[in-house]
Amino acid sequence: MFVIGSGAQHLKKEIEGSAKIINVEIKKFPDGEKYVRILEEGEEATVIQSMYRPQDEHIIEAILIGDALRERGYKRVRIVVPYLAYSRQDRVTKEGEPISVRAIMRMLGLYYDELYVFDIHNPKTLEFFPGKAENVSPAKVIAEYFREKLGDGVVMAPDKGALERAKSVAEILDLEYSHFEKKRISPTEVQMTPVDVDVKGRNVLIVDDIISTGGTMIKAANLLRELGAKRIFVAATHGVFAEGAIERVSNAVDELAVTNTIPTPVSKISIVPEILRL
Ligand code: R5P
C-alpha cells in the first residue's frame, strides 16, 4: 500500500502495475501552503517521497502526509526517500550551524516508524532517525543496466570514499574494480590517478553517488581516455545536475545514465524494483 508524494510522481506509473496505491489529494492553497488528504482507510502504508528541488516543499509534504495517515488511523507507517535533501549537511563546519540532516531525520521520526533512503551520502547519519532506518543500494539496478555494454570491462570509483559502491556493482557483474586517488596539487587543482588497474583497450564504468557540476566525472573520464580506455560509461544514483552538467558530461563520455531517484532526462535506470522489494 503506497502513498506517492509529489516528489515521486514520476515513479507512479511503474509502481501502479505491481502494487496498490492509496488515493491522496495533494494541492496548494493560493498562499502557497500545501494541503494533503488521505482518501482511504487502512492499517499500513508506505509513503514514497523524493526530496529534490523544491526540497523544502517535498519535506513539508512528507510530514503532512505522515500526520494525515496517523490521523486517519494508520498504525504502521514507513517512508521511502529516493533522494534525501540536506544529506550532505551532516556536520557543523562553522560554529552556529545546524546538523541539517539530523533535523530532517528527527522530523520524519515524529511520524514514520521506518525510513528507507537510497544511497545516502553518509550512512552514519541514519542513526539520527529514531526508528528503523536503512540505506538502500542501487548497485543491482545500475549493474544490470550496464551488464551488456560493459562486457568484461572495469568498474571505477572516482575516489576512495566511493569504492564500496563500485565494488558492489563490480561484484554483481563479476568484474574488476578500482578507484582514483585524488591528490591536491594546488588550492584549485586536484590530480587524479587510477590505482592498480590497466584500462587500456577496456570498457570502463565510473560510478558515484551524486553528479552535480559533473567536474569529478569529466576529469576521471578524460584521464581514462588518455590512458587508452575503450568505451567510457558514467553512472550515479542521484542526478542533482547543475545547469549544463548533463550536456558537459554527455559530451565527455560514451554514455551517462543515472537512476530515477530524481527525474532528469538521463534518469534511465529505475529504482522501482528495489522499492517493491522493501
Ligand atoms: C562527493 O562527495 C560526491 O560523492 C560527488 O563526488 C560529488 O558531489 C560530485 O560533484 P561534481 O559533479 O560537482 O563533481
Tell me the domains of the chain and their CATH numbers: 2-136 (3.40.50.2020), 139-270 (3.40.50.2020)
> Which ligand 1 atom is the nearest neighbour of the CA of 213?
13
Across the chain, mean pLDDT equals 97
pLDDT tens for residues 2-40? 999 999 999 999 999 999 999 999 999 999 999 999 999
Residue 185: per-residue pLDDT: 87
* Statement: residue 240 has pLDDT above 90: yes
Sequence letter at residue 89: Q
pLDDT tens for residues 155-172? 999 999 999 999 999 999
- For the chain, strand residue ranges (E) read 2-4, 24-28, 34-38, 44-48, 76-81, 114-118, 132-136, 154-157, 176-184, 190-194, 204-211, 232-239, 255-259, 267-269
Q: Output the CA 240–ligand 1 centroid distance in Å.
A: 10
pLDDT tens for residues 86-116? 999 999 999 999 999 999 999 999 999 999 9
Average pLDDT over residues 44-48: 98
Residue 203: per-residue pLDDT: 98
> Which residue CA neighbors atom 8 of ligand 1 most closely?
210
Q: Output the CA 195–ligand 1 centroid distance in Å.
A: 19
For residue 276, list its beta bridge partners.
Answer: none
CA distance 133 to 223: 38
Collapsed DSSP state (helix, strand, coil) of residue 259: strand
Sheet holding 176-184, edge to edge: 190-194, 176-184, 154-157, 204-211, 232-239, 255-259, 267-269
Q: Output the CA 216–ligand 1 centroid distance in Å.
A: 6
* Statement: residue 80 has pLDDT above 90: yes
Which residue is catalytic, options 34, 182, 219, 230? 182
Pocket of ligand 1, beta carbon within 6 A: 158, 162, 208-216
Residue 187: per-residue pLDDT: 84
* Statement: residue 44 has pLDDT above 90: yes
Residue 126: per-residue pLDDT: 98
* Statement: residue 150 has pLDDT above 90: yes
pLDDT tens for residues 252-265? 999 999 999 999 99
Mark whether 28 is an active-site residue: no
- Helix/strand/coil (H/E/C) assignment for every residue in 119-178: CCCCHHHHHHCCCEEEEECCHHHHHHHHHHHHCCCEEEECCHHHHHHHHHHHHHHCCEEE
